[in-house]
A and B are shown apart, each in its own frame.
Chain A
Amino acid sequence: MGFFLPKLTQPPVTGNAITGTWVAFDDITQDFIGKIGLNEFNMESIASFIPNMWSRVVLFQKAQEEYQQGGVITAQSQFILGELKGLLALIALRNAYGWDVQMETYRFSGRKEINTIAKALYISDWNEDNDSLHLIKFDNKIIGGCLNSQYYTGFFTAALYRVEEVPWFDAKKGILRCPLETGKTGEWTLEDIRNALALWERATSGILHRSILSDWRSDINASAGGDFKVAATPLLSLVSHPLAVLTNPITTNFKAGGIFLQPCDSGGRKVLYYSEECEILPITVATYQKLRQQGEIKQAFDTDKMAVTVGAGEQKFTSAPYDKRELLTSDQMSSIYAWPNFKADDWHDYYLWELKKNDIFTIQPLFEGEGEVVVGETNVSRAFSSKKPFLGISLKLGEREIGIVEVKYKEIGSADHGAKFTVGLDFGTTHTFIAIKDEKGEAMGLSFPDRTIAVINPKSGKEEKFLFMKRDDGDLVYCPVADFATYDFMPTGGSREKKGLPITTLYKRKVLGPPEKAKDSVLEGVAVVVPDKRFYPYGISKNYYQEYDVLMEVTNPFVEGIKWSIPRDRHYLLLYLEHLLLLIRAELRIRRCDLRNGIGNILRWSYPLAMDVEQRKEISARILGGALAISESEAVSYFYEAPRSADTPGIAVDIGGGTTDISLWSRGEVKAQTSVRIAGNVCSKYVAKHPHILADNLEHFSKDLRDDDAISSTVTNLLQRMPENTLSVILSRYGEQFASFLTRYGHTRVSGDLSSVDETLLPLRQLLEFSYASIFYYLGLTLKSLDGIDTRRVEIYRAGNGWDHLNWVFGSSGASGEIPGTVGRVMKDALVLAFGSPMVINIRTSEQPKQEVAKGLLSPAINWDIAGKAMKENPNSSIAIFGEDGFEERGSKKSFCDFIATGTMITDNVPDSFNQYEKFVSFLQNFHGAANFQNAEIPSSGQLRDHIQDRIRTTKTKVEEPPFFMVIATAIKKIWKIDL
């Protein structure tokens, strides 16, 4: 289980014992509050959390305080500032366009008591003479307030308002947003709004200062009645009036010494980088690695170091080739170029490119409709006066465009960006694969060579995370979601020293370096556990290792739930996907893909059926732009294409790192499908709980032993028996346990004899046998019930990397690509057992292991009108129930629940003989592994019934599954204590 609250520092240990004691915080903000993450929130809730009736004001005050002080701006405050910008843009523009924005003085004329309390709960004393509250109304509906007091002076939005006439009002969330972020400006020009916000940012140093209010107040005084309505003035020409700047054209957006320092460049947004609020950093340079090592990364982000040639006049912008060698005259290591992600609201991520010394890059402005921009002089002011607005800049490395900093209000959409692509995304627990297909129709793996996602933890401002999106065998993106969710990036993370947490450093060696070293290592491409940095990976010298000090610290209490069970952690899944999407977008940009209609239109993704519908919808809607999705096994079936065209039924089996998705197809229709959370993960977990299975092997990593040729040879042999990804996953997840085990037991556990391992693996094998056999037993029953099809033949389509785990657990039959020996037999036998007569079963394996799902998503055969809308989508839909005699009926879930509750199925059309438990018992007695269950505690019918009722209750809206699967899942829970 994960840590819920930040761990507090223990006092130094003296003597033999410490008794518990109460200790005062030195700095509760830094030591405690700052470490608590906010996760996701909505404004309505957050405001009501504050124990003060002025809660909204408190929030606005806090946001502005953060803004003014610099440093970390919390996600919450960013949100508030966005709202404020939306409100301010509206208020400021009322003058030019005469919109009905009113400001009324509020008088506590209602109940006397609330007046007293409102003032009593005010954060500092209310001064009747100087302090005032105004209501801001739009079209006579309240949208906010304006407070003028010692504590807070400025605007704030109301707790509840609806102003749907305002283009940047987000009706879904019920908030005003910064218009520049939404790109919706209504009848106003972008410049107007930009200027309005520039006023806020520039003329008032970020807050609506009381000087502005004083002007407003003079208006109030001028009006006789007290309550007033601000007159709609067409143009404020008085230079002295703070709002006058609104009407001035901005032509001085670029100036020497830096680029894009003005708010207009990126929509007026500020970004955080290394906890430093930067005016805007579209592109910047850092001698990254070295500075990072020296802990001076902050200084690296000095825009003055941008050696971009700028024309003499402020209104001219000359883009010229820039030779980075100037920067690298010293012994600095290679530099990193960063491209901030303006999409990120709470975490700030950057693309980083590591450049070589001779690389040359150029920066070019982009204008809408102009296509390739000629390098040379450009009159920038034109961008804001012509019909062709300035869109952003393009960054090129040599001839290759590596980034575009775009002005947010519009997608770049010139004729040159008209390429058509579709992208398939399969994000697994342990591997992510992205396939891309162009108009020619060939699906390929999409990789992100040399790109890195760097995430800065805004909570601490210090922690960094680097995930190299590196191409590996099979074009896999080696950045699975599980790795993304490491402890340090969870909201309560902090520095290791302070927390005193039991972290074992796990270095993932992504780069093996010189070939002469690589060939010596049996650990090509796998993770290596290095407990407490005391010794180094096998075959790699200390110095060499440090040079490639890439990587991360992993303690993974959170990983288990990242994709699944812990709602709080799903946030990180979304973050992960957001990052991934960013990279995909970048790649598409480079390929000049037409993104004008949003990425959701070209992206397809897949989910395991075990993922609940709500989560699926959330991912699609919030992150993936509404991209279409189908289940993983459904995608596999499209990859093989056969199931939907041939008469032969097909069973798609996708065994991944976290789930097994199985679907039975006949003539293009899903006849049965399920998803169980038994896959590579179960193998990994099991091995982790029985460390001696691997401890024998890992022991040899000990420094003392690794130079011993004989032992090294043994280790090599042992490790070679295990597939790379199995070892990698196991070690990355459970490295800590292993390390602890090794430290404790030392050499004594080295046996070299795997017979005890086989014995230990028996329960795991039983579980896997039972699970897969029961599923296939059910599929056999289903097959038997199909009419008009020659069901004596069936094809099984393999997909996913979890098969490797099975291979290891059961032992392979030897031939490459063959279904693993024992488990293959189990599946076949169970199928035949249920079918009742001999069958011809072909097992098909693709030559592109682990890629089937993503590529299947790109199949032209998919009819997206009906795909993904299988029976499980609608929890109220009926589900197929197959009787033992092949009788098929449609029974509702409710009737099944009734059956479970009462033992009697109350439907008109289901035979009395229907009894899932009998079927289960029959299966248990006859299936391939039955002999292993002679002594197992098989749950009774009554026990199963109770558990199933619970299961129905707890998974009610999550996953729809055939009753038989409920029975077996329940049995598995009972026997193995594993909750699927």
Chain B
Amino acid sequence: MNRFVVTIGGTGAKCFEALVFLSAAGAFNQDVTLFHIDPDKNNGNWIKAYSALLSFQEIKKQISRRDILGRVFNSSFQPPVEGMWVHNPYPRKTDTENYTSLREYCGNDDELLQLLFAEKARNDDWEIGFKGRASVGSIAAAACIKEGLDPWDTIIKRINSDATEETRFFLLGSIFGGSGASIFPTVAKLLSKRIVNAEKFVIGGSLLFPYFRFEVPTEESLKAIDRTSEDFAKPGDFLPKAKQHLEYYQKSPQGLFRRIYIVGCDQPRFIPPFYGGKEQMNPSHYLEMVAVMAGKDFFTVASPELKKLKYMHLCEGMEVGAGNSAKQREGDEKIKDAVIWKIFPEGEAIGEKLLVFATMAYSFLEFWNPLLDSEEFKRTMWFKELIGDDPQFREKIAALGDFFEKYLNWLLEIHYGNYNTISGGYDFDSNMQLFDAASIKKLLGEVNAGGVAHDAATQLNRLKYNLMKNDGNLSYTPRLNAPYDGLFLWKNKDEYEKIKKVNRGLSQFESLLNIIKTTSESLVKENYRY
């Protein structure tokens, strides 16, 4: 099966980032052709997501055997055209130059423009996106999906070249902005028209409803930076837009759309106001993860299920039982709004994978990374037995450290993404109960501070940070005198031997990852109960 994942716009970029981390942790385990569409090429969200992707790809290069790490770092991504991870959907004036505004593109045909577009929409500089003007975005998108223009041309040719192979195409974007909302249906519509074997081609997508808001700065303060509120998206418009878009999707031909996942929450978070471009760097949100999980559902659902278009929504799971009935649960605000693993499809399994990966990240950053600088350590027998020396080793693991740090930051943002409009900082979102965010923050604080030089035993104890501890979630059980060997790195001799056996024939990099993964899994299993 050909699988395509296409993320669109600022929100899409956030989903892209979530996809990379979920894949690395093994929670999204699919090989996909992946790329991002963004009219705002300097979008901060995309820069961040792309940076995560590059680290991920760097690590993947070091892994030759996919089976070793289970699902961790197992997924593989490829762009539709070599090197083309991102696509700017602008009509091209020449091979190297795009049109800069709708007006220019329409050949200054004022009458048609006046008839169909308001002034701002006509004349806005396209450089920083469509600013919520989906009607303009639809034109740009339509202009790009035509013969001879990549990546669409290559994609269509590839799909049509083997019309017997099933292809599933998954789009992720916001329904309340400009790019996602306009490109999402346009791509589906125009793509559908050019696919040869419609029986084997289906499109699905996650549409994210408004999940953040911000205060548009006052006109007065904007004057100072030579802007007006017109330059900003308007959070007050998000929901009306979402409604408009969804109504429009409903009424217009849907092409080969078969699954549209509505992803949203009822309590949007505050974020800082942004203008576009690099300024748009929103903190990550759990819904981006949900949107990616929808993609997993889409890729795994049986083909017969995809004969007809269905709009899907997440039906949150809950715990029901004596003293905790659904009714009481709804009546209790604290529980009602809590985001816990149970509310997601396969939530607890995903939670466990992310926990193991968080433990891996921490153990690498706080323990292994400093340790590997130690010459004394490298002289130990077990280092030689399990890892072995490699002069290039230090360079190779740099990407790993980088990626793990990004991952922990991502987790942290999910929990600490509540922008405080007064202080200008971020507050903890008390509804987020996926991880014990305070612990992650503490860990990350230490990592950012350059790590703390602890002895190995202390380090290991610190690994048992109570990453999850909330009610109804994975909870922490202190380990009782676990029989670790001298360095407290593994549970017992058996585990040591097991790692040793697996590591035989692996590269140093792979060996190290295997050690971290195996010990982290063991640690999680020992210390967290379900």
Contacts and interface: CB of A to CB of B under 8 A. Distances in A.
Contacts of B244: 46, 49-50
Interface in A43-67: 44-56, 58, 62
A61 B469 CA distance: 54
Given A500-B330, A502-B333, A954 B220 contact: no
Contacts of A33: 243, 246-247, 250
Contacts of A953: 221
Contact of B330 (A5, A45, A160, A501): A501
Contact of A135 (B111, B135, B210, B237): B111
A110 B106 contact: yes
B240 A46 contact: yes
B135 A25 contact: no
Contacts of B234: 45
Contact of A158 (B115, B139, B239, B342): B115
Contacts of B114: 142, 158-161
Given A7-B266, A51-B182, A121-B186, A24 B310 contact: yes
Interface string A25-49: 1001100110011111100111111
Interface in A158-178: 158-161
Interface string A377-413: 0000000000000000000000000000000000000
B241 A49 contact: yes
B248 A114 contact: no
A47 B119 CA distance: 12
A22 B297 contact: yes
Interface residues of A, number: 82
B417 interface: no
A17 B317 contact: yes
Contacts of B265: 4-5
A740 to B, nearest CB: 6
Interface stretch (B60-68, B418-426, B446-454, B495-503): B418-426
Nearest to B234: A45
B218 interface: yes
Contacts of B218: 956-957
Given A3-B267, A49-B132, A114-B105, A120 B142 contact: yes
A375 interface: no
A13 B325 CA distance: 9
B314 A121 contact: no
A244 interface: no
B344 interface: yes
Nearest to A39: B240
B318 A55 contact: no
B135 A24 contact: no
A48 B117 contact: yes
B236 interface: yes
A10 B313 CA distance: 11
A17 to B, nearest CB: 5
Contacts of A36: 239-240, 242-243
A56 B118 CA distance: 10
A19 B345 contact: yes
Interface in B421-474: 421-424
A58 B248 contact: yes
Contacts, number: 257
A16 interface: yes
A17 B320 contact: yes
A47 B319 CA distance: 44
Contacts of A120: 142, 190
B-side interface size class: 35 or more
B414 interface: no
A111 interface: yes
A121 B137 contact: no
A55 B139 CA distance: 11
A160 B142 contact: no
A159 B116 contact: yes
A52 B138 contact: yes
A53 B251 CA distance: 15
Nearest to B431: A1
B311 interface: yes
A38 B317 contact: no
B139 A25 contact: no
Given A135-B115, A159-B116, A951 B264 contact: no
Contact of A48 (B118, B311, B331): B118
Given A4-B268, A953-B221, A28 B311 contact: yes
Interface string A179-215: 0000000000000000000000000000000000000
Given A3-B267, A36-B243, A50-B248, A19 B317 contact: yes
B344 A20 contact: yes
Given A4-B210, A5-B264, A58-B248, A21 B342 contact: no
B91 interface: yes
A973 B422 CA distance: 10
Nearest to B186: A51
Nearest to B347: A20
A51 B134 contact: yes
Interface string A283-307: 0000000000000000000000000
A290 B313 CA distance: 39
Interface string B97-135: 000000001110101101111111100000000001111
A745 interface: no
A590 to B, nearest CB: 39
A161 B111 CA distance: 11
B316 interface: yes
B271 interface: no
Contact of B422 (A17, A50, A161, A979): A979
B332 interface: yes
A8 B313 contact: yes
Contacts of B252: 52, 123
B112 A110 contact: yes
B424 A950 contact: yes
A113 interface: yes
A125 to B, nearest CB: 9
B261 interface: yes
Contacts of A17: 317-321, 342
A48 B109 contact: no
Interface string B341-353: 0111111000000
A656 interface: no
B115 A20 contact: no
Interface in B225-282: 234, 236-237, 239-248, 250-253, 261-262, 264-268
A23 interface: yes
Contacts of A8: 313, 315
Contacts of B318: 10, 13, 17-18
Interface string B149-180: 00000000000000000000000000000000
B5 to A, nearest CB: 17
B182 A32 contact: no
A165 to B, nearest CB: 17
B407 interface: no
B115 A28 contact: no
A39 B246 contact: no
Contacts of A58: 248
A20 to B, nearest CB: 4
A124 interface: yes
A22 B321 contact: no
A50 B317 CA distance: 34
B333 to A, nearest CB: 7
B181 interface: yes
A864 interface: no
Given A29-B250, A113-B91, 20 more contacts: A13-B326, A17-B318, A19-B347, A20-B315, A23-B312, A28-B262, A28-B311, A29-B247, A36-B240, A45-B237, A46-B240, A48-B121, A49-B237, A51-B185, A52-B138, A53-B135, A62-B247, A110-B106, A111-B109, A121-B139
22 contacts: A10-B318, A15-B320, A17-B321, A19-B347, A20-B345, A20-B346, A21-B314, A21-B345, A24-B312, A28-B246, A33-B247, A41-B237, A45-B237, A108-B112, A111-B109, A113-B91, A121-B138, A121-B142, A159-B114, A159-B116, A161-B114, A957-B219
